[in-house]
Structure 1
Amino acid sequence: MTISAIAAVPALESVDPLVEAISPEFLQLMGWDPQVRLLFIPRDHPQFSAPACLIEGCSKMVYYAFQQGLCVGCMRRWETSGQSIEEFTGTAKRYWRAIGEVICGVPQCARPSTGLAKPLCSSHQYQQRRVYKISVEEFVRHPDVVPLEGFGICHVAACHRQRQSPTGYCPAHAQRRRNAIRQGTLGDEDHWRRTTNGIPQHGVVSLRGLPDRVVNEILYGLQERVREGVMQKDYLLRPFCDQARSQQIATLTEVDAGSFSRHTRHIASGFLKHLSRFGLSPETERHKDIWSGYAFGLTGSLYFDKITQSWLREATKAWALDDIPKRRGKSKQTIQSHINAIVQLSDSLRLNRPDQGVDVRAVARDDITVFLTRLRFLNEQDTISAYQHVRMVRYVRRLLNRMRTLGLARPDQPLHGLCETFVLGPRTFRTTSRTGKPARTFRSK
């Protein structure tokens, strides 16, 4: 089957910013045509390739060592053959169902044949058997035999194969429909057309029948996974696309992965990770209460959402924005530890002030004393350790001082109006060990 044999479908919307993020080189690598909407897996690419099946003529690949050098289909045939692996690989031929769609053997005829054993479309097969009554080889060379125009693409949204009748389906989907009717599972036929899977073809993944937005998200996610060096397997990518189609989602963020296999869930999480990072920058993240560390060169996320006072939360964000570029390596945990210390200060204000600490102008030195008393209480209750107790005090002192040096107490800044005594001065903390004996003395910096 050639691409020209596939009917045109609407092109992808160029207004989607994801389209601009997908490189032409990647689309060329995948053989992508927005009219056809098929991905062709590049076997010569190291992230898509694998050893070929040992069976002569089989085009499938072998991904795991336990397969004995055979693709999944050929391995199952070998297991039931009773032969040794050497005997089987030396005598077995390609499984006929692995060849995909077969077009009529009459030159330039666009209609599908009814199978490998019947290499003619139904119309030409009738002529060959009932009218001319000659062999297939003679029939295809007969001067009076003319090619026929195709009926168009199968009515199943995911399928790219030719219909075998004006109003029907490709031969494979026609058989599926008959089976579904016989089993009573067809239901609404229009819904069946939109949600049923395409016919699997090795090395080809169909994105037909998916909304433009989902197609763009899959292309972008696949591109980013390839950039990360992740190995890609079409037999895992195909069911992921089929599940997205069956759920009739408008975007991948709506996908329900509960019914996915473990490997398909892994693909879904990888795609969603890259989609969540698309368009991220420090400018977009700094105004949120949960920051994606990716925008700042960190792993994971930074959480400011538990700081309930807006003035304290915004000041802590300003400190983090200033502090992150000055640290080396993946220092997300250290930064989050500082933020968590401010969370403890926020909790103390929320629990002990009548206004829950909302008014920045109302907090005073007494609130610092209450905060220190609360930390001591939490330490005595074994809610926090002695080390955590001292570290939190150090971090809060460091951040409150740094917030002031950043000018956050000036007009139009989060701490404007904050009492000048709302600080932590140099102080020595003496902790007690579990045995009751004096332990190490910590001095705040």
Structure 2
Amino acid sequence: MTGAHSGLRLLAEPDGRESRDRLEILTALINGPGFDPLLRADVIKVPTEHPVFGWGCRVSRCQRSAHGTSDLCDTHRQQRVSRGGDEAERAEFLRTAEPLPLTTAAFTGPCRVSGCERLALGHRYRLCARHDNRWRKASAREHDTELDLDEWLATEVPYPSFGVCSAASCRDGAGSPLGLCPNHDQRYERAGRPGGAELPGGWFHSHERDPSSIAVRYRDEKVFRQWCREADPLLRIGEINLLGLHPLLRAEIKWGLFAHQRQNPRTRWLPVDVQNLVNNCRAMDSLTGFDLDNCSRRARGLTKEMLQSLRVVYVTPSQTREAGYLEFGSLRGRIPRFQQPL
């Protein structure tokens, strides 16, 4: 058996005790003084120009993310390809290309009514659903005069929040007593409403003012909760969202990102590629259980490098000798390569 295959065998999925030991080791390393503080967060917000995980298009003031292995967004990449040319032409393209805005907004923010804890709808008034309904009714009553929005806002009372979204990967506010933010509510609908969670008919008009009085009905609540645990987060530019992951898996990915930054800083990893990998292994307890044979080429490359970095942490020198290879890239070593065959 080759050294590489032996290393993968030594990184088989851990049992309960081994999982706890591995998490303890990684936690100590992540909390150590040499670890990059940026990568400790469960929602990593990567600066646009980060040297390893930077995601911004190279065209000045372009708000879109770079595409694939390019340092240009997809639109600017296609424009550049159509022109061809050498490095001098590329420099001219970067100087003259028009910057592009983001095409969608990730969230709308809070309701404009002072003190209201509910999310605003995605339109120009920036009101929550209840206040939007009240504003429309108030405006309709003013037949001949135009109601002043600012004056009306000053007379409105705030309403309590529906809480945080029940999707484990989400930190946005829920849009209704069902417990899902607007984005995950749409995804739940597209998924066929697993578990059959629903609100009582007419809840908005009869009980919406007091969310605690509304009882959600389920066909199978366990199925609904499982969907909430496994739902992917809303993709946000420049973010790596690790919320809802098993603690060991979350620590492994953080360590893998740090190891890549330290060992291979010239190869850029876009946050969107890392997020796609995270979403693909969301139901796992450890990265060691990832199916390398049934994933994209990009996910396979990221995972292999992460597993390589974990091997240095998890596997002892005696274990590598038994498997037929030596580990030189220990945490205290100076040799940059992780593994050398015997």
Q: TM-score, normalised by structure 2?
A: 0.66
Counterpart in the other structure of 2:4: none
Maintained 8 Å contact 1:55/1:92: no
Shift in alpha-carbon separation, 1:117–1:25, aligned structure 2, 3 A: farther
Structure 1, unmatched stretches of 5+, are: 1-12, 77-84, 303-335, 337-445
> What code does the residue aligned with 2:46 have?
I
* Deviation string, structure 1 residues 247-277 (Cα, Å, up to 9, x no partner): x211111122333211111111111111111
Corresponding residue of 1:292: 326
For 1:18, the equivalent position in structure 2 comes to 26
Contact 1:158/1:194 (<8 A) preserved: yes
Q: Residue 293 of structure 1: CA displacement?
A: 3.4
Give the Cα separation in 1 of the matches to 2:43 and 2:164. 14
Q: Does residue 253 in structure 1 map to residue 258 in structure 2?
A: no
- Post-superposition offset of 1:113: 1.9
Instruction: Name the aligned partner's letter for residue 293 of structure 1.
Output: E
Contact residue 285 and residue 295 of structure 1 kept, 8 A: no
| Aligned pairs (5 A) from 1:59-70 | 59-63=63-67, 69=72
Q: Which has the higher contact order (CA 8 A, sep 6+)?
A: 2
8 Å contact from structure 1 (residues 38, 206) kept in 2: yes
Rounded to whole Å, the distance in 1 between the matches of 2:241 and 2:154 is: 38
What letter corresponds to residue 307 of structure 2 in structure 1? Answer: L
Runs of 4+ displaced beyond 6 Å = 64-67, 73-76, 134-137, 182-187
1:211 corresponds in structure 2 to 246
Name the % identity. 23
- Residues 75 and 279 (structure 1 numbering): CA distance in 2 closer, same or farther, change over 3 Å? closer
Tell me the SS of whatever aligns to 2:37.
Answer: helix
Other-structure match for 2:37: 28
Report the counterpart of residue 331 of structure 1 in structure 2: none
Counterpart of 1:212 in structure 2: which amino acid?
Answer: P
Question: Does structure 2 retain, via aligned residues, the 8 Å contact 1:156–1:169?
Answer: yes
Q: Is the 8 A contact 2:27 2:251 kept in 1?
A: yes
1:242 aligns with 2:279: yes
Q: Could you tell me which residue of structure 2 aligns to residue 130 of structure 1?
A: 137
Residue 136 of structure 1 deviates from its aligned partner by 9.7
Specify which of 110, 113, 126 is matched with residue 117 of structure 2: 110
Helix, strand or coil at the partner of 1:112: coil
Q: Could you say what secondary structure the match of 2:44 adopts? A: strand
Q: How far off is 1:129 after superposition?
A: 1.2
CA distance in 2, matches of 1:263, 1:185: 36
Letter in 2 for 1:38: V
> 1:293-442 residue pairs with structure 2 within 5 A?
293-294=327-328, 297=335, 300-302=339-341, 336=342
How far does residue 295 in structure 1 lie from its aligned partner after superposition?
Answer: 5.1
| Partner Cα distance (1:20, 1:173) in 2 | 34
Q: How has the CA–CA distance of structure 1 residues 152 and 258 changed in structure 2, closer, same or farther, with 3 Å as cutoff?
A: farther
Aligned 8 A contact 1:53 1:61 in 2: no
User: Helix, strand or coil for the counterpart of 1:106?
Assistant: coil
Aligned residue identity for 1:20? A
Q: Describe the shift of the 1:101–1:234 C-alpha distance in structure 2 as closer, same or farther (beyond 3 A).
A: farther
- Report deviation, 1:210: 0.7
> Counterparts in 2 of 1:189-204, with a 5 A limit?
189-204=224-239
**3-state SS of 2:293 partner:** helix
Note if contact 1:102-1:115 (Cα within 8 Å) is conserved in structure 2.
Answer: no
- 1:79-228 residue pairs with structure 2 within 5 A? 93-95=101-103, 97-117=104-124, 119-131=126-138, 138-139=149-150, 142-181=153-192, 188-228=223-263
Which letter maps to 1:114? L
For structure 2, the residue ranges without an aligned partner over 5 or more in a row are 1-19, 79-92, 198-219
Tell me the residue number matched to 2:47: 42
Call closer, same or farther: CA 1:239–1:66 in 2, change over 3 Å.
closer
Structure exhibiting the larger radius of gyration computed from Cα positions:
1
Contact 1:240 1:264 in 2 (8 A): yes
Query: CA RMSD of the aligned region, Å?
Result: 4.0
Q: Deviations over 1:126-177 (max 9, x none)?
A: 1211246588972487322233332221111111211011223111111112
The offset of 1:122, in angstroms, is: 0.6
Deviation string for 1:184-242 (max 9, x for gaps)?
99994333222121110111121111111111111111111111114221110001111
Q: Could you tell me whether the CA contact under 8 Å between 1:282 and 1:295 is conserved in 2?
A: no
For the residue of structure 2 that corresponds to 1:224, the secondary structure is helix
Maintained 8 Å contact 2:312/2:327: no
C-alpha separation between the residues in 1 aligned to 2:139 and 2:170?
A: 34
- Shift of the 122–140 alpha-carbon distance from structure 1 to 2, 3 Å rule, reads farther
Separation in structure 2 between the aligned mates of residue 137 and residue 217 of structure 1, nearest angstrom: 55
